[in-house]
Amino acid sequence: METDASVPTIDRQQTLFAEVILPFSLAKTFTYRVPHDWNNAVDPGQRVVVPFGKNKFYAGILWRLSNRPPEAYAAKYLHSLLDEIPLLQAIHLRFWNWLASYYLCNLGDVMAAALPAGLKLASETLVMLHPEADLNNVELSDHELQLVEELHKTEALTLDEIQEITGLKHVFPIIKSLYIKGLVLTGEEIKQRFKPRFRSMIQIQPNLNEEALGDIFNKLEKRAPKQVDVLTAFLGDHPDNEWQDRLKFIKRHQLSSAAVKALIEKEILTEKEVRVDRISPEEYDTQQLKLSVEQEQAVTSTLAFWQERKPVLLHGITGSGKSFVFFHFIQKALEQQQQVLYLLPEIALTVQLVQKLRQHFGSAVFITHSRFNENERVEVFQKVASGMPCVVIAARSGIFLPFVKLGLLVIDEEHDSSYKQYDPAPRYQARDAAIYLAHLHNAHIILGSATPSLESYHNAQLGKFGLVELDNRYGDSSLPDIRLINLSDLKRKKAMLGSFSPVLMEELEAGYKEGLQSILMQNRKGYVPIITCTNCGWNAKCVSCDISMTYYKTHDHLKCNYCGFTQKPHRQCTSCGSSALEMEGFGTERIEEELGNLMPEARISRFDQDTTRGKYAHHRLVHEFEDGEVDIMVGTQMISKGLDFSHLHLVGVIQADQLLNFPNFRSFERAFQLLTQVAGRSGRREQKGLVMIQTHKPDHPVLQDVVANNYLHFYEQEILEREKFNYPPFCRLIEIEIKSKEEIDSERGAAQWGVQLKQEFGHRVLGPEKPYISRLRNYYIRRLIIKLEKDGVNLQAVKSLLIKHLIDFYKIKANRKVIVHFDVDPV
DNA sequence: AGCACGCCGACT
DNA sequence: GTCGGCGTGCTC
């Protein structure tokens, strides 16, 4: 929680001290002494290896330099410098600083989130046999003897290996005892996790003239025909003797790799290793963009707002071609040699978008997200740091990439709640952070959505954002026909076919007969979400959370969707022993099964977290659907994102009510967004689509707005509610979450915060209260919320007070086992 | 985060 | 006694 990242003037003739950020959640930086020889080589933003604690080494980030030695302790020396050219520039450190102070977390939290794992190094302890170890006259325990014997066999062992070998939980005591007896040594090794990829290149030894080559051919001809083949192939194809990729060359000419190796050993061929990228995509034929008149107008008005240095909100209904407007600006940025950050909520779901971007921008497109491996992520990070003009498609963590020539940020689906990181710290909202980032880099920023967040649209209404609207669907496609189906009516008439209304079934079958595809959304995973005892009302709950266990039929187990705990299904009620257990509710598995019974001939697939695991699982499901191998896809809200199919006849929502009943002030907003987004999946391209939403409350105003596709009306109603009850965007929320393994500790801690905060902030403090889910992973949770006015409140002062309270809170011993989290702008 | 140190309780 | 478990304190 630093306040100033600017570097004071320093004298590089004098001794330098370096403040270093370490990648864990510690409330401060650590100061190290710079060896005098490095005075001109050190700079903020470099990674430095430092000793920390008794014998560990870590890579930290050099935060700033000074000439002032610390007063309270003697600083240790920096161990080594990892980057000649700083990995991060001043602008990135400023951004880190802003994140830490705005979101009330430590710089170490930011560092941990910002750097790809491959760039965060930690040392590992190695244990070796002492070269002069004398095993005579020493008493050894069994474990000690075992370890010494093992060390005779290998050079060194890691702590994990020793743990494995001895079966001991605590390995330090025996290592220490062996060390004292002079039998072992320990050392720390810093392992570089990132490994660049190299490729072997070959050419014919350039100093061989024709005569020498002739001799070689003569010599080889008799005994090594394969080697002659290699040389003939090389000279035939590459008379100018350019470097050739060894593997490709061998493959292309179907040569013997042993022969190539032999020639290298005889120094007839020469070899070199070159660094290659893992991430460069193949070349694509890039297509030209052609914008519609409406899109052209959107471009013009966006440019006008950017002139005024405003972020732009592009509100365009699904299918209006928002992405073409984005593409236009991306192209302009690339033409000016700038870098572009394209943020998306769930990156993995955007196969189609990536393909489109590649078609337009070819090899300038990079992608990073959590399913990419360590090395690939490091390469994207380094590419971005190199300043190469490119478009990076990323999920929320893309804001941490070290752009040096950032010209444009695109925040697609800006309303999506996955832009907010909830756990661990930094608990940041990537959309908001991106706006600050754009400001820092003096870059343009455009947010896009068919269903903007209340915050963004309100900002647009206030004139803080420029508002650009796209009202028409691109091409000839028209808006879908959205119908509500009254479940209460049908249930009363006992007309339902399980979870399906007769009309929905009719349409599904009609579509199927015509060879058209449909998707069905049920926003619950698994088979059933609740198992209840009909005798006493007990229901199956997770052992460590206050959550009902979901039954998964495919695995025949119960699973807690929050902590992942699984167990065998109950035979009897744990409370009364009755075996009258009932399954309540419907998840995607059960819907899939029911539908299979109703339409046995249809090809049905399921799209949820369960079936989309793995790097290529979505890919496969999306392609299967695209290729027409599937008639009906059943899925959770995942199917509402990023899928764009051409033969979609029907979108069905099995149960809209749960969406509206969420105990959160944003539940209506979420419901409207989700339903509108999934409805938008239908009827693109030629045909008019059909959307059927099953609900018990067909009169609900939010559903009416969905049917009318009237965002503005929805916004106007909802914003009135927010104002009336003083919720964002009319105030700013800071949530304080207090948790502990003992309920009384949470209770007491929360009460203490309540009393103190109310003294300072009075009526602005709500709680402490037991949240909707009050126990998670064995922690009892309490929550307080501070509602701050948008104007006239010194936010920084409030945050300083909170930090002061936090420090005071932990001064009390009994509070040490209580965990306190701040969440600024919670979702 | 990772590790030491100290205390307690349970056993080869 | 030896080992594991856990709380506490500290790292420049």
In whole angstroms, give the CA distance from residue A121 to residue A395: 24
User: Quick check: A58 CB within 7 A of strand C?
Assistant: no
In whole angstroms, give the CA distance from residue A169 to residue A143: 12
Considering all nucleic acid strands, name the nucleotide whose C1' atom is nearest to the C-alpha of residue A817: C7
Specify whether the CB–CB gap between A97 and A146 falls below 8 A. no
Q: What are the Cα distances from residue A664, in Å, to A57, A670, A771?
A: 45, 10, 11
Provide, in whole angstroms, the distance separating residue A646's CA from nucleotide C9's C1': 63
Q: Strand B within 7 Å of which CB atoms in A 25-64?
A: 25-26, 52-56
User: A812: which residues sit within 8 A by CB, 6+ positions away?
Assistant: none
Considering all nucleic acid strands, name the nucleotide whose C1' atom is nearest to the C-alpha of residue A56: B2
**CA-based nearest residue to A73, from A9, A110, A30:** A30
Considering all nucleic acid strands, name the nucleotide whose C1' atom is nearest to the C-alpha of residue A19: C12
User: A85: which residues sit within 8 A by CB, 6+ positions away?
Assistant: none
Considering all nucleic acid strands, name the nucleotide whose C1' atom is nearest to the C-alpha of residue A424: B1
Provide, in whole angstroms, the distance separating residue A42's CA from nucleotide C2's C1': 49
pLDDT score of A1: 43
Provide, in whole angstroms, the distance separating residue A79's CA from nucleotide B2's C1': 19
Considering all nucleic acid strands, name the nucleotide whose C1' atom is nearest to the C-alpha of residue A52: C11
Strand C nucleotides where any atom sits below 7 Å of a protein CB? 2-5, 7-12
Q: Considering only CA atoms, name the residue closest to the C1' of nucleotide C6.
A: A817
User: Quick check: A496 CB within 7 A of strand C?
Assistant: no
User: A506: which residues sit within 8 A by CB, 6+ positions away?
Assistant: none
Provide, in whole angstroms, the distance separating residue A83's CA from nucleotide C5's C1': 42
Q: What are the Cα distances from residue A435, in Å, to A213, A408, A410, A415, A438?
A: 64, 11, 10, 14, 5
pLDDT score of A646: 63
Provide, in whole angstroms, the distance separating residue A55's CA from nucleotide C2's C1': 26
Specify whether the CB–CB gap between A110 and A67 falls below 8 A. no
- Residue A819's Cβ-count burial label (10 Å; 0-12, 13-18, 19+) is middle
User: Quick check: A500 CB within 7 A of strand C?
Assistant: no
Considering all nucleic acid strands, name the nucleotide whose C1' atom is nearest to the C-alpha of residue A22: B1
User: Quick check: A122 CB within 7 A of strand B?
Assistant: yes
Strand B nucleotides where any atom sits below 7 Å of a protein CB? 1-4
Provide, in whole angstroms, the distance separating residue A612's CA from nucleotide C12's C1': 46
User: Quick check: A819 CB within 7 A of strand B?
Assistant: no
**CA-based nearest residue to A822, from A190, A117, A100:** A100
Provide, in whole angstroms, the distance separating residue A818's CA from nucleotide B3's C1': 21
Provide, in whole angstroms, the distance separating residue A160's CA from nucleotide C7's C1': 24
Q: What is the DSSP string of A715-769?
A: HHHHHHHHHHTT-TTSEEEEEEEEEESSHHHHHHHHHHHHHHHHHHHGGGEEEEE
Provide, in whole angstroms, the distance separating residue A132's CA from nucleotide C6's C1': 38
Q: Strand B within 7 Å of which CB atoms in A 141-200?
A: 159, 172
Q: Strand C within 7 Å of which CB atoms in A 63-122?
A: 70, 72-73, 75-76
User: Quick check: A493 CB within 7 A of strand B?
Assistant: no
pLDDT score of A2: 42
Provide, in whole angstroms, the distance separating residue A739's CA from nucleotide B5's C1': 27
Average pLDDT for consecutive 10-residue bins of chain A (827 residues)? 56 96 94 96 95 92 95 94 92 97 96 94 91 83 88 89 88 88 88 86 88 87 87 86 91 91 92 86 67 94 97 90 93 96 78 82 87 88 94 96 98 95 95 98 97 98 97 72 94 93 94 91 92 91 89 93 88 89 92 94 90 78 87 89 72 94 93 92 73 96 95 97 96 94 90 94 93 89 94 90 91 88 94
Considering all nucleic acid strands, name the nucleotide whose C1' atom is nearest to the C-alpha of residue A29: C12
pLDDT score of A248: 92
Provide, in whole angstroms, the distance separating residue A307's CA from nucleotide B1's C1': 47
Q: What is the pTM of this model?
A: 0.90
Provide, in whole angstroms, the distance separating residue A810's CA from nucleotide B5's C1': 21
Provide, in whole angstroms, the distance separating residue A159's CA from nucleotide B11's C1': 25
Provide, in whole angstroms, the distance separating residue A27's CA from nucleotide C8's C1': 18
Does residue A509 sit in helix, strand or coil? Answer: helix
- Helices (DSSP H) in A318-373: which residue ranges? 322-335, 351-361
For the beta carbon of residue A589, count every other beta carbon within 10 angstroms: 25
User: A322: which residues sit within 8 A by CB, 6+ positions away?
Assistant: A314, A316, A412, A448, A450, A470
Provide, in whole angstroms, the distance separating residue A129's CA from nucleotide C2's C1': 25
In whole angstroms, give the CA distance from residue A141 to residue A7: 55
**Pair type for strands A16-21 and A30-34:** antiparallel
Q: What is the DSSP string of A112-135?
A: HHHS-GGG--BEEEEEEE-TT---
Considering all nucleic acid strands, name the nucleotide whose C1' atom is nearest to the C-alpha of residue A144: C2
User: Quick check: A24 CB within 7 A of strand B?
Assistant: yes
Provide, in whole angstroms, the distance separating residue A54's CA from nucleotide B5's C1': 13
